[in-house]
């Protein structure tokens, strides 16, 4: 029997298979049946290692369903393996990492207890929305970045005087890291909100973007509002093409269509969430973190 097995949840089948190949592990697949009331019935197919198992399951919509499936997989793995490493490519609930208003539940604190209780020995996340969430884990936890993999993809494209752009100041460090990987410049757009009307305006210098191919960088895209607003502004500033690079492409509520309509040439994302745009593989980055 192999000393390592990869148990891939239904939400991360392709990434799980790639990770199993990279780590030379025995692959254990999940067969999931969803009952009319929404309950998940999971059956594993394959042999679980007695020494170490890696459970791979993203927690994207339906978030609660994929979370319960992840916990179930961990619990089953722990029945056989002495060590269970959990890989959550996309960590749902990561935005609920602190009490913003009185009475709010810090759900990431709950998740930390659930993962440990289910039997996780270590947790690895990819570009988690906030590192604050990992502080609640009492087991070993690590965040890895998909930026080098995404940057490597864009290096292969024929771009005209490319520039990395963060849609807001909050993503400045990510843009800096992306630009460093590509050996090019970056800027972070500034937003100014009118206190009377609530309208948000974006500001930057025309000379920064005129005639250049731009790569809008973000950690995740949900509804795409920030990307759409940034793209419309940049197009008015006479830029050339606009590409979007993100780790997690949730693309809710017809977001992809809205983003393309705003003038974006292509959306490129990592395979932390499967989809049409998820063409950048992060399995090698995850495999390195496991070792």
Indicate the helix (H) or strand (E) that contains 153: helix 147-155
Q: Can you tell me the distance from the alpha carbon of 287 to that of 267, in angstroms, rounded to the nearest whole number?
A: 25
- For the chain, give percent helix, strand, coil, nearest 5: 35, 30, 35
> Of the given ranges (1-10, 162-171, 177-186), which has the lowest mean pLDDT?
1-10
Q: Can you tell me the distance from the alpha carbon of 94 to that of 117, in angstroms, rounded to the nearest whole number?
A: 19
CB-facing half-sphere around the CA of 210: CA atoms within 13 A: 3
Percentage of residues of the chain with pLDDT beyond 90: 91
**Eight-class DSSP state of 59:** -
- 10-51 residue pLDDT tens: 999 999 999 999 999 999 999 999 999 999 999 999 999 999
What is the average pLDDT value for the chain, to the nearest integer?
A: 94
pLDDT value, residue 1: 47
**Which pair of structure tokens corresponds to residue 185?**
């410049």
Q: Can you tell me the distance from the alpha carbon of 15 to that of 58, in angstroms, rounded to the nearest whole number?
A: 10
pLDDT value, residue 206: 63
Query: Are residues 90 and 59 in contact, defined by beta-carbon separation less than 8 angstroms?
Result: yes
- The single residue of 180, 191, 235, 258 carrying the catalytic annotation is 191
Q: Can you tell me the distance from the alpha carbon of 78 to that of 56, in angstroms, rounded to the nearest whole number?
A: 14
- 205-225 residue pLDDT tens: 665 899 999 999 999 999 999
* Residue 164, Ramachandran bin (φ over 0: left; ψ between -120 and 50: alpha; else beta): beta
Q: Can you tell me the distance from the alpha carbon of 173 to that of 27, in angstroms, rounded to the nearest whole number?
A: 36
Q: What is the mean pLDDT of residues 241-260?
A: 97
Which residues touch 85 (CB under 8 Å, ≥6 apart)?
Answer: 52, 53, 54, 55, 120, 121, 122, 123, 124, 290
Q: Catalytic annotation on 142?
A: no
- 272-284 residue pLDDT tens: 999 999 999 999 9
Count of beta carbons in the 10 Å neighbourhood of residue 152: 12
Query: Are residues 175 and 289 in contact, defined by beta-carbon separation less than 8 angstroms?
Result: no
In angstroms, the Cα distances linking 4 to 89, 193, 215, 244, 264 are: 19, 52, 39, 36, 42
pLDDT value, residue 291: 75
């Amino acid at each position: 029997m192999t000393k390592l097995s990869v148990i891939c949840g239904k939400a991360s089948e392709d990434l799980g298979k790639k990770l199993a190949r990279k780590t030379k592990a025995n692959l254990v697949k999940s067969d999931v049946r969803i009952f009319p009331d929404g309950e998940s019935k999971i059956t594993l197919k394959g042999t679980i290692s007695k020494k170490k198992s890696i459970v791979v399951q993203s927690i994207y919509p339906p978030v609660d369903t994929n979370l319960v499936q992840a916990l179930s997989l961990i619990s089953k793995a722990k029945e056989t393996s002495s060590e269970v490493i959990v890989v959550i490519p996309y960590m749902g609930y990561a935005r609920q990492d602190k009490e913003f208003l009185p009475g709010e539940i810090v759900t990431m604190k709950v998740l930390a207890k659930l993962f440990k209780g289910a039997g996780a020995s270590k947790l690895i996340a990819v570009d988690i929305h906030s590192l604050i969430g990992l502080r609640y884990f009492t087991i070993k936890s690590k965040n890895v970045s998909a930026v080098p993999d995404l940057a490597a993809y864009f290096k292969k494209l024929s771009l005209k005087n490319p520039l990395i752009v963060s849609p807001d100041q909050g993503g400045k460090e990510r843009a800096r890291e992306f630009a460093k990987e590509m050996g090019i410049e970056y800027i972070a757009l500034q937003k100014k909100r009118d206190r009377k009307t609530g309208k948000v305006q974006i500001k930057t210098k025309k000379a920064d973007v005129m005639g250049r191919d731009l790569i809008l960088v973000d950690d995740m895209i949900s509804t795409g509002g920030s990307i759409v607003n940034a793209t419309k502004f940049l197009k008015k500033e006479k830029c050339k093409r606009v590409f979007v690079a993100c780790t997690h492409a949730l693309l809710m509520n017809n977001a992809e269509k809205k983003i393309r309509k705003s003038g974006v040439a292509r959306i490129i994302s990592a395979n932390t969430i499967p989809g049409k745009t998820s063409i950048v593989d992060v399995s090698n980055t995850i495999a390195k973190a496991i070792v």
